[in-house]
Amino acid sequence: MTLNNLKIGIIGLGYVGLPLAVEFSKYYSTIGFDLNQQRIQQLKAGEDKTCEVSADDLKQAQYLDYSHDLKDLAECNFYIIAVPTPLDKHKNPDLTLLEKASATVGKLLSPNNYVVYESTVYPGATEEICLPILERESQLKFNQDFFVGYSPERINPGDKDHRLIDIVKVRN
């Protein structure tokens, strides 16, 4: 895979996933995937009810496709997972949705694909919880057949001064 044939799939189009999808689609072929069909319909109609992306910016994201159909996601070779990781009633992290999203992506993984976790999780969760699911579902080997990264989102919804493109994650 090279940057020329990069096809990005963003899983979970909420406060975090949608701005990412809009931004990446300026440079790379991008599919925004969400299980919530109503969310997909609204986005296709140019409406973001989280108000993180303006109607103008949504309109300009002409190379961004939205889908709730796994078939479309299967065309991707770089997956970014941005599903919710809430706390349960005992204030423990509930990783159920993250596990489900990992299983979904694991089933679609091909050799040389990448998976990046953008959801907020505690240290070690990527390697201890997510990676085994990806390996089990794909029957591929981490760091040999496919690669994984963790890039926790820093966005602060509603803060228009510190948007996705203003927040530096890696300095060189």
Ligand X SMILES: NC(=O)c1ccc[n+]([C@@H]2O[C@H](COP(=O)([O-])OP(=O)(O)OC[C@H]3O[C@@H](n4cnc5c(N)ncnc54)[C@H](O)[C@@H]3O)[C@@H](O)[C@H]2O)c1
Residue 70 Cβ vs ligand X, minimum distance, rounded to whole Å: 9
Q: What is the DSSP letter of 99?
A: H
The reply to whether 12 sits near ligand X by the rule CB under 6 A is yes
Tokens in use for 75?
């065309």
Q: Which is nearer to ligand X, 3 or 87 (by Cβ)?
A: 87
Q: Which of 1, 6, 7, 14 binds ligand X (CB under 6 A)?
A: 14
Distance CA 127, CA 142 (A): 10
User: Which stretch, 15-23, 40-48, 56-64, 133-141, contacts ligand X (CB under 6 A)?
Assistant: 15-23
Total number of residues binding ligand X (CB under 6 A)? 25
Quick one: which segment of 8-16, 58-66, 135-143, 160-168 binds ligand X (CB under 6 A)?
8-16
Rounded to a whole number of angstroms, the minimum distance from the CB of residue 143 to ligand X is 24
CA 151 to each of CA 12, 81, 118, 120: distance values in angstroms, whole numbers, following the listed order: 15, 10, 5, 9
| CA–CA dist 74, 109 (Å, integer) | 8
Q: In what order do the strands lie in the sheet with 147-150?
A: 64-67, 29-33, 7-11, 78-81, 114-117, 147-150
Looking only at residues 83 through 142 of this chain, which bind ligand X when binding is defined by CB under 6 A? 83-85, 97, 100-101, 104, 119-120
Three-state DSSP state, 16 = coil
Q: Which is nearer to ligand X, 82 or 116 (CB)?
A: 82
Shortest Å, Cβ 172 to ligand X: 23
Length of the chain: 172
Binding residue for ligand X, selected from 9, 10, 17, 67, defined by CB under 6 A: 17
β-bridge partners, 93: 87
Quick check: 11 binds ligand X (CB under 6 A)? yes
The amino acid at residue 9 is G
Judged by the rule CB under 6 A, the positions of this chain that interact with ligand X are 11-17, 33-36, 39, 82-85, 97, 100-101, 104, 119-120, 153, 155, 157
